[in-house]
Amino acid sequence: MTEKKRFEEIVECLVELKDTSELMIDLAYTSLMLDNKELAEEVHRLEENVDKLHTDFELLVLTSDFKKEEASGFLGLIRMGVAAEKIADAAAEIAEVVLRDLESHPVLKLAIKSAEETVAQACVTEGSTLVGKTLKEARVQEETGMWVQVIRRNMKTLRPKGDSRIQSGDVLIASGYSKGVESFRKLASPEQFCQVE
Interacting residue ranges for another protein, rule: CB under 8 A: 3-4, 7-8, 10-11, 14-15, 18, 22, 25, 28-29, 32, 70, 72-77, 79-80, 82-84, 86-87, 89-91, 93-94, 96-97, 102-105, 107-108, 110-112, 114-117
- Residue nearer to another protein on the CB measure, 4 or 156: 4
CB atoms within 10 A of CB 30: 27
For 149, the 3-state DSSP assignment is strand
Which C-beta is closer to another protein: that of 145 or that of 190?
A: 145
Q: How far apart are CA 10 and CA 197, in angstroms?
A: 41
Q: Could you tell me the smallest distance in angstroms from the CB atom of residue 65 to another protein? A: 13
Q: Which of 169, 167, 150, 168 is nearest to 159 (CA)?
A: 150
Evaluate whether 102 touches 40 at the Cβ level (below 8 Å): no
What H or E segment, with its residue span, contains residue 146? none
Which residue, 92 or 123, has its beta carbon nearer to another protein?
A: 92
Nearest to another protein of 177, 193 (CB atom):
177
